Amino acid sequence: MLEEWDVDFIRSNRDEVTRNREVTIVAHGTALTGVDPITGEPVYASQELGEYRVTWDIPNTKRQEQLMEMGYEMEASDRVVKFRYDVDVAAIERIEYKERLYRFITKDPRGIGEEPNRFEAVVRLVT
């Protein structure tokens, strides 16, 4: 069983553990750009939110089974992306990696102990 000092040790070493497994992605979101002059409706446009370092993996069998039990149909292009907890994942709608665009299927907080320390998302290839 994990003790509290085990959890503290794992959290303090997370940066070192993930350092060589991270890749850079570009996050895209939607922002209010103005108001339509005729209808008065808000106009939204896609915008780049910046670059982030994330862990990029192919979903393992256990994760695939969990997602299928939740009702998601897995595709060959699906990937698991792990964000640091300080990233505003709610604002991100799509991510770009190696000039390919992916959309989110799930966004879940993950970690051990009482407080999550990362977000794990499943993304699917769009283009």
Averaged in consecutive runs of 10 residues, what is the pLDDT profile of the chain (127 residues)?
Answer: 75 70 91 89 89 89 84 87 88 94 90 78 91
User: What pTM was estimated for this model as a whole?
Assistant: 0.75
The Cα diameter of the chain in Å comes to 64
H or E segment and range at residue 6: helix 4-12
Strand 22-35 with 118-125, pairing = unpaired
Sequence letter at residue 89: V
* pLDDT score for 50: 92
* pLDDT score for 48: 92
Here the CATH number for the domain that contains residue 118 is 2.40.10.270
How many domains, the chain? Answer: 1
* pLDDT score for 17: 66
DSSP class of residue 73 equals P
Distance (Å, rounded) from C-alpha 107 to C-alpha 80?
A: 10
Residues 6 or more apart in contact with residue 89 via CB below 8 angstroms = 83, 107, 119, 121
Q: Residue 35's domain spans which residues? A: 4-125
Sequence letter at residue 79: R
